[in-house]
Structure 1
Amino acid sequence: MLKKAILYMIISALAFTFLNVFVKSLNNFSVYQIVFFRSIGSLFFTIPFLLKNNISFLGNKKGLLIMRSVFGLISMTLFFLSLKYIAMGTAVSIRYIAPIFAALFALIILKEKVKPIQWLFFLIAFSGVLILKGFDTGIQIQGIVFAIISALFAGLVYITIRKIGNDDHPVVVVNYFMIISAIIGGLLAINNWIQPQGNEWLIFMSLGVFGYFAQLYMTKAMQVGETNQIAPLKYLEVVFTVILGLLWFDEVYNIYNLIGIIIIVTGLSLNLIIKRK
């Protein structure tokens, strides 16, 4: 089950990476319009799947499903908003304190055990993120605040998914999230709606594709693995973002960036090893 959860989380991290890149490219649009298209695009996958497999849209743990959707909507909106104020890599890095929140919530709410040494490994991984991106004196405080609060709610998302467990199909969980996000995002986007042009339509629709697979596999991973064990693997998204930036945007990374990547992977690997023991 551990290997399967790890694979699911890696797929999710890759999909989230592409999602981040495309969201950043739509910087001129309202964050609510981006949330709307992100959600609508995913519904083209979730609704047909549920209908084909004769799975109830309502689910079993309705209260938790709604709670998870609200937490996810707040986290997603604030993260997209942070991208308007700070660089994509910086926003992603700050958001990666989410697994630390998740581990803390798991300890308090789910009573999952977190070994003291694991907190050290979490700190090592997070310090690697800081080294990876360096210190940007031009960062706007609004962006930092949005990213931190987004991370807090992302941690709550992890915990809520664990509470739902296997009582609801992963696509039901994602479908709830997308329907609620599409309704609220669409309503809030009306006043500042900008009509997409040309390739912007393709980019908008791709948000739903990458968002769907990112959310689906994150949900699957959290359902089959313990939160404090699987959630830190989201740090891999930072590594994928660096690689994609290098290949796609010809970004240049110095020795400190490479050291940061090594520290992140080391911290995550040590956590997994000690957890399995």
Structure 2
Amino acid sequence: MVISALAFTFLNVFVKSLNNFSVYQIVFFRALGSLFFTIPYLLKNKISLLGNKRGLMIMRSIVGLISMSAFFLSIKYIAMGTAVSLRYIAPIFATIFALFVLKEKIRPVQWLFFGIAFTGVLILKGFDDDTEIQFLGVILALTSAVFAGLVYIFIRKIGSADHPVVIVNYFMMVSVIIGGLLSIKNWVHPVGKEWLVLMSLGVFGYFAQLYMTKAMQVGETNQIAPLKYLEVIFTILIGLIWFKEVYTLWSLLGVVLIVLGLTLNVLTKKK
């Protein structure tokens, strides 16, 4: 999980550094890089690329694409640590959606922990001097979290009917097609090291997901899951050092409340 958190962190850093490229072109290369891993894996193991629940996988891919695009755009407006923290409230939206769509139950104490996390969101909402840019970045990060919550619902609906890599491959294929089409108008031709940075997005994204999955397979969820929030700490540290991002005591308090609320939620959930 630590390796996964580091991989996600470097993905965030490289996206933040690609100021010359549109979010759609970044999405295109992020997905293209991952396809170099998913397609060979499926072919090698003779797993059908088309899968079974195709409609649900397409819908999962679309909401995932919206979530990814909104998040990548948000870190261009607000500090990376703030954006990551806001995106991580996706499990709250997923739980609420599951309550109505999947008829799952929520333990009463979970509402308290959700309240702690949302208090952190409210504190983060207004710490930047440029309130208009700050507000836009926060809205984009929250939009990413809402659609990430929907991703969880679609994955639950798909269940074990399709191999996890087939689901990811659908997501990457849809992202390559839509991201590529939307980036044609404002396409910027990469030069030199930009090629390496753009292609590395897919590599970091793929291994981040891979090691997170492996961690969940070999460890107890309530012990392993909280470690994914190390991404917030790693991202804040690199943001401070690399991009000279500024965090006030209020913004750090907001981050702490979000991570605390979500961690307590994971620890109290039933297996």
Q: After TM superposition, is the score higher than 0.5?
A: yes
- Hey, what does 2:166 align to over in structure 1? 172
In the alignment, is residue 194 of structure 1 matched against residue 188 of structure 2?
yes
How many residue pairs get matched? 268
- Hey, what does 1:48 align to over in structure 2? 40
In the alignment, is residue 103 of structure 1 matched against residue 103 of structure 2?
no
Q: CA 1:157 to 1:114, structure 2 compared with 1: closer, same or farther past 3 Å?
A: same
Q: CA 1:122 to 1:221, structure 2 compared with 1: closer, same or farther past 3 Å?
A: farther
Instruction: Work out the CA distance in 1 between the residues paired with 2:41 and 2:73.
Output: 30
- 1:217 CA drift (Å): 5.5
* Structure 1 unmatched runs, 5+: 1-6
Instruction: Work out the CA distance in 2 between the residues paired with 1:106 and 1:222.
Output: 21
Q: 1:20 aligns with which of 5, 12, 16?
A: 12
* Structure 2 unmatched runs, 5+: none
In the alignment, is residue 81 of structure 1 matched against residue 73 of structure 2?
yes
- 1:156 CA drift (Å): 0.4
Q: CA 1:263 to 1:219, structure 2 compared with 1: closer, same or farther past 3 Å?
A: same
One-letter code aligned to 1:241: T
TM-score, reference length from structure 1: 0.82
- 1:45 CA drift (Å): 0.4
- 1:51 CA drift (Å): 0.6
- Hey, what does 1:119 align to over in structure 2? 111
- 1:130 CA drift (Å): 5.9
In the alignment, is residue 160 of structure 1 matched against residue 163 of structure 2?
no
One-letter code aligned to 1:188: L
- 1:115 CA drift (Å): 1.0
Q: CA 1:223 to 1:63, structure 2 compared with 1: closer, same or farther past 3 Å?
A: farther
Instruction: Work out the CA distance in 2 between the residues paired with 1:249 and 1:83.
Output: 12
Q: Which moved more, 1:114-123 or 1:51-60?
A: 114-123
TM-score, reference length from structure 2: 0.83
Q: CA 1:193 to 1:114, structure 2 compared with 1: closer, same or farther past 3 Å?
A: same
Q: CA 1:146 to 1:274, structure 2 compared with 1: closer, same or farther past 3 Å?
A: closer
- Hey, what does 1:4 align to over in structure 2? none
Instruction: Work out the CA distance in 2 between the residues paired with 1:239 and 1:268.
Output: 15
Q: CA 1:183 to 1:262, structure 2 compared with 1: closer, same or farther past 3 Å?
A: closer
Q: Is 1:76–1:150's contact at 8 Å kept on the other side of the alignment?
A: yes
Q: Is 1:162–1:222's contact at 8 Å kept on the other side of the alignment?
A: no
In the alignment, is residue 66 of structure 1 matched against residue 61 of structure 2?
no
The DSSP-based 3-state class of the residue aligned with 2:160 is coil
Q: CA 1:133 to 1:147, structure 2 compared with 1: closer, same or farther past 3 Å?
A: closer
Instruction: Work out the CA distance in 1 between the residues paired with 2:237 and 2:148.
Output: 24
Q: 2:82 aligns with which of 80, 86, 90?
A: 90
Q: CA 1:152 to 1:271, structure 2 compared with 1: closer, same or farther past 3 Å?
A: closer
Q: Is 1:96–1:126's contact at 8 Å kept on the other side of the alignment?
A: no
**Percent of paired sites with the same residue:** 73
The DSSP-based 3-state class of the residue aligned with 1:86 is coil
- Hey, what does 1:3 align to over in structure 2? none
